[in-house]
Chain A
């Protein structure tokens, strides 16, 4: 093959970068989880507390892990939890689910079943109608990862 042109060399270089990214283990990083949280909070800091996360300490099957969230809130028209963001820092994508509540909810509580690829943190951020932000996190040890590797 003849000498590589400048453009050819650039394309070749870009090819290497893509390969390196693809060779990553395909997991979201804590930084990506933080970016997802920043999108939700608008960059404001969330206070610790008010949130109860119900998750097993050890999940034997990462394909379906029961998750239940409760936020301490009066849930009336003047002051209610409007949105709850759940992210994790070890799945292929950081986002897990967003719940949207109303004063009609009566309680700031919701539950679902999630996938966890590996031992990782589950981070919850709750937003109130008054613009207050609360956060909590839990580390879950995962024996067999979900997401189908």
Chain B
């Protein structure tokens, strides 16, 4: 499962600014197509979706396939109108959910 997440989100912005949000989570994104050294298939283990909300409202989401590189990196933007909190969730094939949060002050 995802062990560590890293976020890069500005802590301050001016009203109307478009900010960049960068996220990274440690995960093998195992495709299920590889074999181990004994020729046994390695089980598929994928983060299948990522979502970000701001103050509870959907901002951005992504449906990931095995073609996303290990340790999925996702970058997107947000136009800031008010202060608040970004909530991030990563959901795996087996339903495991990893979450993170970041706050921003908008003046």
Residues of A whose CB lies within 8 Å of any CB of B are: 26, 63-65, 68, 75, 88, 91-93, 95-107, 109-116, 146-149
Nearest CB of chain A from residue B83's CB, rounded to whole Å = 14
Since A63-B70, A113-B69, A148-B33 are in contact, a sample of 19 more A-B pairs with Cβ atoms closer than 8 Å, ordered by chain A residue number, is A26-B33, A88-B67, A92-B66, A93-B66, A93-B67, A96-B65, A97-B64, A99-B60, A100-B60, A100-B61, A100-B63, A105-B77, A105-B78, A106-B18, A107-B18, A109-B77, A111-B73, A115-B31, A147-B33
In the assembled complex, the Cα of A104 lies from the Cα of B60 at a distance in Å of: 9
**A149: nearest residue on chain B (CB-CB)?**
B34
Q: Let me know if B76 and A113 touch, CB within 8 A.
A: no
Residues in B38-85 with C-beta less than 8 Å from chain A: 54, 57-70, 72-79, 81
Chief secondary structure at chain B's binding surface: strand
Q: Check A95 against B18 for contact (C-beta < 8 Å).
A: no
CA distance A68 to B74 in the complex (A): 10
Our pick among B31, B54, B62, B78 for the contact of A147 (Cβ within 8 Å) is B31
User: Given the interface contacts A110-B60, A110-B76, A148-B34, does A64 sit within 8 Å of B70 by beta carbon?
Assistant: yes
Contact B75 A95 (CB under 8 A): no
Number of interface residues of B (CB under 8 A): 28
Chain B: residues with CB nearer than 8 A to chain A?
Answer: 18, 31, 33-34, 54, 57-70, 72-79, 81
* A148 partner residues in chain B, CB cutoff 8 A: 31, 33-34
Contact of A97 among B57, B63, B81 (CB under 8 A): B63
Chain A interface mostly helix, strand, loop or mixed?
mixed
Q: Please name all residues of chain B whose beta carbon is closer than 8 Å to the beta carbon of A116 when the two chains form the complex.
A: 67
A104-B59, A105-B59 given; A99·B69 CB < 8 A: no
Q: Are B62 and A115 in contact (CB under 8 A)?
A: no
Chain B residues near A107: list those with CB within 8 A: 18, 77, 79
Chain A hits for B57, CB < 8 A: 102, 104
Q: Are B75 and A111 in contact (CB under 8 A)?
A: yes
Given A106-B18, A148-B31, A148-B33, is A96 in contact with B68 using a C-beta cutoff of 8 Å? yes
From B54, B58, B69, B81, A114 is in contact (CB under 8 Å) with B69
- Contact sample, A vs B, 6 pairs, CB 8 Å cutoff: A64-B69, A93-B67, A105-B60, A107-B18, A109-B77, A112-B74
Q: Are A99 and B62 neighbours in the complex by a CB distance under 8 Å?
A: yes
